[in-house]
Amino acid sequence: MTFLNPAVLFGLLAASIPVLIHLFNLRKLKKIEFSTLIFLKELQKNKIRKVKLKQWLLLLLRTLIILFLVFGFARPTLKSVFIGNSSTAKTTAVFILDDTFSMSVVDAKGSYLNQEKEIALRLLSQLQDGDEVALILVSDVNYQSAVTTDFAQLKKNIELLSVSNISGSLQTALIKAAKLFDQSSNYNKEIYLLSDFQKSRIADRNQFPNLSEAMKEGIRVYAFPLADKEVFNVGVDKISVNSQIFEKDKPVQVSAFITNYAKQKIDNSVVSLFINGERTSQKSFSLKANETKEIVLEGVIKKSGYQEISAVIEDDEILQDNNRFTQIYVPEKIPVLILAEELSDATFVQYGLQAANTNQQLQVDVKQLNQLPSIDLQKYSSVILVGIAGENISSLIQFIQAGNGLFFFPGSTTSLQNYHRFCAAFQIPKANNLSAGGIPFRFVTVDYEHPLFSRLFEDKKKKSIESPEIYSAFLQRTEGKGKSLITLANNISFLSEFKIDKGKIFVASTAPVLTQTNFPLKGIFAPLLYESVLYLSSIQKDNVENLAGDKLTVNLSGNVSGQVAIVKPGNETEFFSLDDKANEFQYINTTRFGIYYFSSANKIIQSVSVNANPLESKTDYAEQSDINEYFTKIKSTAKLTFIKKDESSENIIKKARFGTELWKYFVLLAFLFALIEMFVSKSSKKDLTSLTK
pLDDT (tens digit per residue) in 97-118: 999 999 999 999 999 999 999 9
User: Where in the chain do CATH 3.40.50.410 domains reside?
Assistant: 91-229+620-657
Amino acid identity of 388? I
In the predicted structure, residue 559 carries a pLDDT above the cut 90? no
Question: For the CA atoms of the chain, what is the radius of gyration?
Answer: 41
DSSP label at 345? Answer: G
Q: In what helix (H) or strand (E) does residue 360 lie, and over which residues does it extend?
A: none
The β-bridge partners of 600 are 603
* Chain mean pLDDT for the chain: 87
In the predicted structure, residue 72 carries a pLDDT above the cut 50? yes
Alpha-carbon distance of 31 to 151, in angstroms, equals: 72
Nearest CA-CA partner of 57 in 18, 26, 25, 28? 18
Q: What are phi and psi of 122, to 5 degrees?
A: -65, -45
User: Where in the chain do CATH 3.40.50.880 domains reside?
Assistant: 334-537
DSSP label at 213? Answer: T
Query: How confident is the model over 37-68, as pLDDT tens digits?
Result: 555 555 566 666 676 777 777 778 778 888 87
Confidence of residue 558 (pLDDT cuts 50, 70, 90): low
- Count other C-beta atoms under 10 Å from residue 115's C-beta: 20
Task: Find the angle CA(203)-CA(207)-CA(210) to the nearest 5 degrees.
Answer: 100
Which pTM value belongs to this model?
0.78
Query: How confident is the model over 411-461, as pLDDT tens digits?
Result: 999 999 999 989 999 999 998 888 877 789 999 999 999 999 988 887 777
Q: What is the mean pLDDT of residues 167-176?
A: 94
Q: What is the mean pLDDT of residues 158-173?
A: 95
Alpha-carbon distance of 496 to 410, in angstroms, equals: 13
Query: How confident is the model over 305-322, as pLDDT tens digits?
Result: 999 999 999 999 999 999
Kindly report which listed range (505-519, 545-559, 661-675) carries the lowest average pLDDT score: 661-675
Q: What is the mean pLDDT of residues 61-79?
A: 76
Query: How confident is the model over 386-418, as pLDDT tens digits?
Result: 998 666 788 999 999 988 999 999 999 999 999
Class of domain 91-229+620-657: alpha beta
Residue 248 to residues 180, 244, 353, 678: CA-CA distances in angstroms?
56, 13, 18, 103
Residues 6+ apart with CB under 8 A from 440: 469, 470, 471
In the predicted structure, residue 560 carries a pLDDT above the cut 70? no
Looking at residue 452, what is its pLDDT? Answer: 93
Statement: 546-611 belongs to CATH 2.40.50: no
Confidence of residue 162 (pLDDT cuts 50, 70, 90): very high
Task: Find the angle CA(35)-CA(40)-CA(43) to the nearest 5 degrees.
Answer: 145
Amino acid identity of 596? Y
Residues 6+ apart with CB under 8 A from 175: 211, 214
Percentage, residues of the chain above pLDDT 90: 62
Residue 178 to residues 142, 149, 172, 175, 197: CA-CA distances in angstroms?
16, 18, 10, 5, 19
In the predicted structure, residue 164 carries a pLDDT above the cut 90? yes
Fold of the domain spanning 334-537: Rossmann fold (3.40.50)
Query: How confident is the model over 217-253, as pLDDT tens digits?
Result: 889 999 999 999 999 999 999 999 999 899 999 999 9
Confidence of residue 295 (pLDDT cuts 50, 70, 90): very high
Confidence of residue 541 (pLDDT cuts 50, 70, 90): low
Looking at residue 83, what is its pLDDT? Answer: 43
Cβ pair 139, 591 in contact under 8 A:
no
Residue 86, class by beta-carbon neighbours within 10 Å (0-12 exposed, 13-18 middle, 19+ buried)? exposed
User: Where in the chain do CATH 2.60.40.10 domains reside?
Assistant: 234-330
Statement: 234-330 belongs to CATH 1.10.260.40: no
